[in-house]
Structure 1
Amino acid sequence: MDDPTQRDSATAPSQVSRLDFDIEWPPKHAAAYLIDEPAPILVDTGDPGDRAEATIREGLAATGYEPDDVEAVVVTHPHSDHIGQVPFLREAGAGVYAPRPVLEQLERDPADLAAGVREVARSTGYHGEAIDRAVEHAQSSLERNRGLLAPEAAVPFEFGEPFSAAGREFEPIHTPGHQIHHASLATELNGERVLFSGDALIEPFRPGAIHVGIDYGAYDAVEAFHRAMDRLEGRDVDRVFPGHGPVFTDYRGVIETTRSALETLTGEVLEAVTAVGPASPTELTRHRVGEARHPAQLLDTLGALGTLEERGRVEYEDCDGVRYYSVRKASP
Structure 2
Amino acid sequence: MTGRVHRIEASVDWPPGHVAAYLLDPDGAGGASLALVDAVTPDEGGETALSEAFGALDEDLSDVTHLLLTHPHVDHVGQVQRVVKAADPHVYAPASVRDRFDRDPDDLAATVRTTATRAGLDDAAVEHAVEMAVGSLHRSRDLLPVEAVDTWVEDGDRFDVAGTTVEAAHTPGHQADHCCFYLPDERALLAGDMAIEPFRPVVLHAGLDRGVEDAIDAFRTALDRLDALDVGTVYPGHGPVHERFTETVDRDRDSLDRMLDRTVESVADGATTVEEVADRRARDRGIEYIVAEVVAALTHLDATGRLESTVVDGVRRYETS
* TM-score (norm. length: structure 1): 0.90
Residues 55-105 of structure 1: per-residue CA shift (max 9 Å, x gap): 001111221211111112100000000000101101102232101111221
Residues 172-217 of structure 1: per-residue CA shift (max 9 Å, x gap): 11111100010011114xx521111111221021001010112122
Q: Structure 1's 234 and 97: CA in aligned 2 closer, same or farther, altered over 3 A?
A: closer
Which residue pairs with 1:23 in the alignment? 12
Identity of aligned residues (%): 39
Which residue pairs with 1:120 in the alignment? 115
Structure 1's consecutive aligned runs of 4 or more residues displaced over 4 angstroms after TM superposition are none
Which residue pairs with 1:300 in the alignment? 293
Which residue pairs with 1:197 in the alignment? 191
Matches within 5 A, 1:25-44: 25-37=14-26, 38-44=32-38
Which residue pairs with 1:6 in the alignment? none
Task: Please tell me whether residue 177 in structure 1 is matched to residue 173 in structure 2.
Answer: yes
Deviation at 1:166, TM superposition (A): 4.6
Task: Please tell me whether residue 66 in structure 1 is matched to residue 60 in structure 2.
Answer: yes
Specify the SS of the correspondent of 1:119.
Answer: helix
2-structure distance, mates of 1:66, 1:234: 36
Task: Please tell me whether residue 320 in structure 1 is matched to residue 320 in structure 2.
Answer: no
2-structure distance, mates of 1:291, 1:166: 49
Unpaired stretches in structure 2, ≥5 consecutive residues: 27-31
Matches within 5 A, 1:243-254: 243-254=237-248
Q: Structure 1's 202 and 271: CA in aligned 2 closer, same or farther, altered over 3 A?
A: same
RMSD: 1.6
* TM-score (norm. length: structure 2): 0.93
Task: Please tell me whether residue 287 in structure 1 is matched to residue 287 in structure 2.
Answer: no
Matches within 5 A, 1:75-86: 75-86=69-80
Letter in 1 for 2:18: H
Query: Is the contact between residue 268 and residue 288 of structure 1 (CA under 8 Å) also seen in structure 2?
Result: no
Letter in 1 for 2:251: T
Which residue pairs with 2:203 in the alignment? 209
Deviation at 1:291, TM superposition (A): 4.2
Which residue pairs with 1:236 in the alignment? 230
Which residue pairs with 2:146 in the alignment? 151
2-structure distance, mates of 1:318, 1:55: 49
1-structure distance, mates of 2:281, 2:68: 37
Query: Is the contact between residue 154 and residue 170 of structure 2 (CA under 8 Å) also seen in structure 1?
Result: no
Letter in 1 for 2:143: L
Specify the SS of the correspondent of 1:92.
Answer: helix
2-structure distance, mates of 1:321, 1:195: 45
State the aligned residue count.
Answer: 314
Residues 229-268 of structure 1: per-residue CA shift (max 9 Å, x gap): 1111132111111110111112111111111111111111
Unpaired stretches in structure 1, ≥5 consecutive residues: 1-11
